[in-house]
Amino acid sequence: MHHEFWHARWENNQIGFHLDEANPLLVRHFHQLALTPGQRVFVPLCGKSIDIHWLLAQGYHVVGAELSTLAVDALFESLAVIPDVRTEGALTHYHAEHIDIFNGDIFALGAAQLGHIDAIYDRAALVALPQEMRQRYSLHLRKITDQAPQLLVSFEYDQSQQPGPPFSVNAQEVSSHYSAFYTLRLLADDPLSGGLKGKCPAQEQVWLLTARSLAHAQ
């Protein structure tokens, strides 16, 4: 997926993926990560998600990565916060109390720049990327977060009926990306109300990914 595609989506306000309230799956399942207030949650390809408002309200420190400057500006406007902004290499770093957003290509974001991450919330990143990019993304995410646990939301549907994004990422593919490094637990597998974009039936799945070394220690 080329950068121009996502820039055009934001410029034309084609952001049907954006919800006006916190994702119910986040609210229902986030406790499975067993975090405490103050810990740092990474939200890749975060857009201007209302989920960030919810995470901040729970007392977490949110770290996001987002390609679109329009989305980042809209996020801080919705938070009624004026961030400090500075250029860091190929990225622009927006910082305010309890929140850091890196604007630019997520593949330009390194572990040292990102800092320690306690958990990842991936609702719209893996499913936003075409198949040829998803393997690269999953490896990069694991590397820059030191294999932090994840709450992952994915969709499964007949890709021939509806082009992505969001793309169909079934259980077998989730396993192919993550099972070598994480213990995978399926928390939910529910029909998507109204289908995908109202056009085809789809299942919405929620996964808890725990680093294998951590899982074995429990």
- Return binding residues: 10, 45, 66, 123
Radius of gyration of the chain (CA): 16
Taking the C-alpha atoms of residue 89 and residue 34, their distance in angstroms, rounded to an integer, is 34
Closest by alpha carbon to 54, among 26, 35, 95?
26
CA distances to 69, 79, 102 from 59, rounded to whole Å, are: 25, 15, 20
Q: Residues at the annotated binding site for S-adenosyl-L-methionine?
A: 10, 45, 66, 123
Taking the C-alpha atoms of residue 73 and residue 62, their distance in angstroms, rounded to an integer, is 16
128 exposed, middle or buried (CB, 10 Å; 0-12, 13-18, 19+)?
buried
* Run of H or E including 152: strand 150-157
